[in-house]
Amino acid sequence: MPRELDIQTFILNSLGKGNVIDVRSPAEFEQGHIPGAINIPLFSNDERAVVGTIYKQIGRQQAVIKGLEIVGPNLANIVATAQALANDTTIYVHCWRGGMRSGFVAMLLKMYGLNVFILKGGYKAFRNYALQSFNTPLPVLILGGRTGSGKTLILKNLKQHQQQVIDLEGLAHHKGSAFGALGEAPQPTQEQFENELAIQLLTINPARPLWLEDESRLIGKKVIPNGLWQQMLVAKVVYINLPFTERLNYIVKGYGIFPKEQLEASILKISKRLGLEQTKNAIIALNNNDVKTALEYCLHYYDKTYSHGLMQRQKTSVTELFFDTLNTELIIQKLIT
């Protein structure tokens, strides 16, 4: 018989190996899945609905017969795909609750000759685990700085210096402002954002600092889970203070590559807060191919917004570091010494 594993053992044993099979329907998988899992659905979305309806209206046995009729022609493909994914003949399987779907596939693969492990409680157990992980105390350090301070770039370099870093904006596929979707892939579902974050938290050493960027609660349309958000609010902040001109140049370099139509649409998203006159001036500058002036209007707005947010923190929790230029090596040396 395939062996059942609790959620922690299942994740730790399979993490990063690419041999986890999620046999739920494509719609279930798209809504949220264990990061790195491969979807080999036992049923399509419509087929799952048919079997589920028979189970509820007629009974288990009739549903099983219908299920076997559906999956029969696809069994060889399931085995071949699993074989290709197996690491040293080992494969991990789960469905929604660790029930019939994963049990059936696991028995099939075991009969074929693979070393099969089933996730006890299925994806539901993983979701409970993920949601609980955000309440675990973490050694959070916040990297702060006004827009254009290169915080994401600094975090990337911190990671290269073997520091613990989680890029929340990277997980959310959004840079966190009205311009944040430019150049990014579509945002994941909220569920998948949480799943990806939970897996990264699993690898954190609680004895060492965890660097996170100073974010608002919303990153695009993704919400930072409350347990983590509350820790971020009270964490110590290292605030990178760069001159306005240096930050503006960084913004222009990053966003000036996008079409004017996309930049204008982003400016219009903040028009109510930017003000009618400032919005008008920014768009006029943009239409005159003066991207720098257009973004300068926006940067003044974001500076006011960020300063307001920073004032909500206790002054004793903020350490301010001044730099003349965005020299990431110099900044990182100050941060880690």
Q: Of residues 38, 40, 91, 95, which has the active-site annotation?
A: 95
In this structure, are 163 and 81 located in the same domain? Answer: no
For the chain, how many structural domains are there in total? 2
CATH number at residue 51: 3.40.250.10
- Measured CA to CA, the distance from residue 265 to residue 298 in angstroms comes to 13
Give all strands of the β-sheet with 140-145 in edge-to-edge order.
164-165, 210-213, 140-145, 236-241, 318-322
- What is the distance between the alpha carbons of residues 81 and 142, in angstroms, rounded to a whole number? 43
Q: Are residues 155 and 34 in the same domain?
A: no
pLDDT, tens digit (0-9, with 9 covering 90-100), for 26-78: 999 999 999 999 999 999 999 999 988 998 899 889 888 998 888 888 899 99
Domain limits at 255? Answer: 139-336
Could you confirm whether 95 is annotated as catalytic? yes
Domain end, chosen from 131, 158, 178, is at 131
Q: What pTM was computed for the model?
A: 0.93
Helix (H, G, I), strand (E, B) or coil at 289: coil
Q: Which residue has the tokens 């570091």?
A: 321
Q: Do residues 195 and 295 share a domain?
A: yes
Together in a domain, 180 and 117? no
Return the number of other C-beta atoms located less than 10 Å from residue 286's C-beta: 19
- pLDDT tens-place string over residues 95-123: 999 888 999 999 999 999 999 999 999 99
Do residue 71 and residue 205 come from a single domain?
no
Domain identity same for 116 and 17: yes
Strand-strand pairing, 38-39 and 218-219 = unpaired
Looking at the structure, tell me whether residues 97 and 223 fall in a common domain: no
Task: Kindly report the number of other CB atoms within 10 A of residue 227's CB atom.
Answer: 15
Same domain (yes/no): 307, 176: yes
**Residue 316: pLDDT over 80:** no
